[in-house]
Amino acid sequence: MLDQLALAGLIPVIKVNDAQDAVPLCKALQDGGLPVAEITFRTAAAEEAIRLVYEQVPDVLLGAGTVLTPEQADRAWAAGARYIVSPGFNPRVVKHCLDKGYPILPGCSSPSDIEQALEMGLTAVKIFPAGALGGIATIKALAGPYPQMHYVPTGGVNANNLMDYLSFPKVLACGGSWMVPQDAVDAKDWGKIQALAAQAVDLMLGFNIVHIGINNPDAQAAKVQADRLSQLFHWPIKEGTNYFVGTGIELMKAPGRGTHGHVAIGTPNVERAKWHLEKRGFVFDDSTARRGADGKLTFIYVQDEMAGFAFHLIQK
C-alpha cells in the first residue's frame, strides 16, 4: 500500500460531517485524477463514510486518518480502510496495527518518535505538523541520521510548497487538504473539488516538452534539415547519435519510433507519471523502459503514437 501511495504522490486529507458526502467527494477526486482519500476520524461520520466509499468507489486508495486508539483502527479496517494514519506516535496503536497487519503511517514530530518507529520496524512515517516543524528543511535534517526512513509530510502542505517536498527523494508522498476545502465539501461543490484535484495533479506531474525528434531517411538528410533550422533560428547544432538544433529539436539520422518522429515529455518522477497516466487509460511499452543506477524509471514510451508522433516520458 505504501508503494501505491508513493506512486499517487498526494493524499487528500478529508473531513466529512455527513457520511453521504464521501462518495461524491471521492468520485470528484477520482475524476480529477486523484483516486486517493484519507478520511479522518475527526467526526462521527468517518466510519460510515469509509464504508460507503469502500463499497461504491472501490478503486480509491482508501485510508483512515486521525486514528487515536486500537479500537478506532479496527473499526476503520472493518469499514474498508486499507491504511491507517495517526497524528502522533502512540506505541499501543502502532503495535496493534502491526500485529493485525494494517499498514500504518504514525505521526512523528521529533527524532525520538522516529527512533521508536525504527525500533518497531517501520520504514515510513507521517511528519506532522510539517509546516510548523520547519517544513522540508527539517525533513532533510532528519534524513541525515535516519537515512533508512521515508516521510509523508502533512500539515501546512499546499500548492506553493508541494514540489519542495516531493523533490526530496526521502519524501514518499504528501498529505494535504487544499484540494478538498471544507467550504466546498459542506456546499457539496464537487465540481470545484474535481478542478482543484486536477490542478494539484498537473502541478505534481509537471509535464513539459523537452524536445521533438523528427525522423529523416538518413544522416545526410538529417544534416541538411539541421543546417536549415540552424540558419532559420540561429540556434547551434550539436552532433551526437543524432543532430540537435538548439535544445528542443532533434533530427534523427534514421527513421525512429513514430511515423514522423517522437516527442519527449519531461516530468519530475517518471514512475509516478506512468501510474497516473495508466489510471487515465494509457498503455506504456515496457520494453522501452530505462532505469537509472538507483533502479528508478527514467524513460518509457507510450505504446500508441498520436498525430504521427510517438511520445515518451523522460526524467527531468
Rounded-to-integer distance, Cα 232 and Cα 227, Å: 9
Q: Is 38 a known active-site residue?
A: yes
* Catalytic one of 38, 47, 250, 271: 38
Rounded-to-integer distance, Cα 193 and Cα 152, Å: 22
* Catalytic one of 15, 126, 253, 274: 126
CB 12 within 8 A of CB 179: yes
CB 10 within 8 A of CB 38: no
Q: Name residues whose C-beta falls within 8 Å of residue 108's C-beta, 6 or more positions apart in sequence.
A: 89, 114, 117, 125, 126, 127, 128
Contacts made by residues 240-245, CB under 8 angstroms, sequence distance 24+: 242/213, 244/211
Rounded-to-integer distance, Cα 61 and Cα 26, Å: 10
Rounded-to-integer distance, Cα 25 and Cα 236, Å: 51
Q: Name residues whose C-beta falls within 8 Å of residue 235's C-beta, 6 or more positions apart in sequence.
A: 229, 245, 246, 249
CB 222 within 8 A of CB 249: no
Ranges of beta strands (E only) in 112-192 are 124-127, 150-153, 174-176
Q: Is 274 a known active-site residue?
A: no
**Residue for cell digits 506531474?**
205
Q: Which residues are catalytic?
A: 38, 126
